[in-house]
Copies of this chain bind each other. A is one copy, B any other.
Amino acid sequence: MSITQDSLSISEVAEATGLTAHTLRYYERAGLMLHAVDRASSQHRRYSGADVAWVVFLTRLRSTSMPIARMREYVQLVRLGDDTTEARRDLLLEHRITVAAQLETMTQSLAHIDYKIANYTMKVDGS
């Protein structure tokens, strides 16, 4: 598709980010892109490097379970420019707290699961 060009097709971005083309369109519709993605003359989307970097950032928020609606709030702040720096930081800080709690819970649960695994292994291996 692209030879040596600094914009990518939707399927290339899907490939690069691990999202599907469907999901990329959905994210754009959901207002998660900073601006509408550029189009080729064919009306096909052409993602810039910055677009891709942004999508990757979105996947980081998602992988930490930030809801789409909250991500949209963040995007809106970014769109508003430098005046919202503090608000953006606060939003991320708040999110950070919930992520840390999640990690804590998961880590503890994993420890309990590991304990169970160890017991089972004793039963299996031991006489």
Mark A residues whose CB is within 8 Å of B. Answer: 57, 60-61, 63-64, 82, 85-86, 88-89, 92-93, 95-96, 99-100, 102-103, 105-110, 112-114, 116-117, 120-121, 123-124
Complex Cα gap A114–B123 (Å): 43
So how many copies of this chain end up in the complex?
A: 2
The answer to whether A120 touches B99, judged by C-beta atoms less than 8 angstroms apart, is no
Complex Cα gap A34–B121 (Å): 22
The answer to whether A99 touches B89, judged by C-beta atoms less than 8 angstroms apart, is no
The answer to whether A113 touches B92, judged by C-beta atoms less than 8 angstroms apart, is yes
Complex Cα gap A109–B108 (Å): 19
- Beta-carbon nearest neighbor of A99 in chain B: B110
Q: Which residues of B contact A113 (CB under 8 A)?
A: 60-61, 64, 92, 95-96, 99
Complex Cα gap A104–B124 (Å): 29
From residue A20, how far is it (CB to closest CB) to chain B in Å?
18
Q: Which residues of B contact A123 (CB under 8 A)?
A: 82, 85
Q: Which residues of B contact A103 (CB under 8 A)?
A: 103, 106-107, 110
Complex Cα gap A117–B56 (Å): 17
- Sample of 15 more A-B contacts, CB < 8 Å, known A60-B108, A99-B113, A102-B106: A57-B112, A60-B109, A60-B112, A61-B109, A63-B106, A82-B123, A85-B123, A85-B124, A89-B120, A89-B124, A92-B116, A92-B117, A92-B120, A96-B114, A103-B107
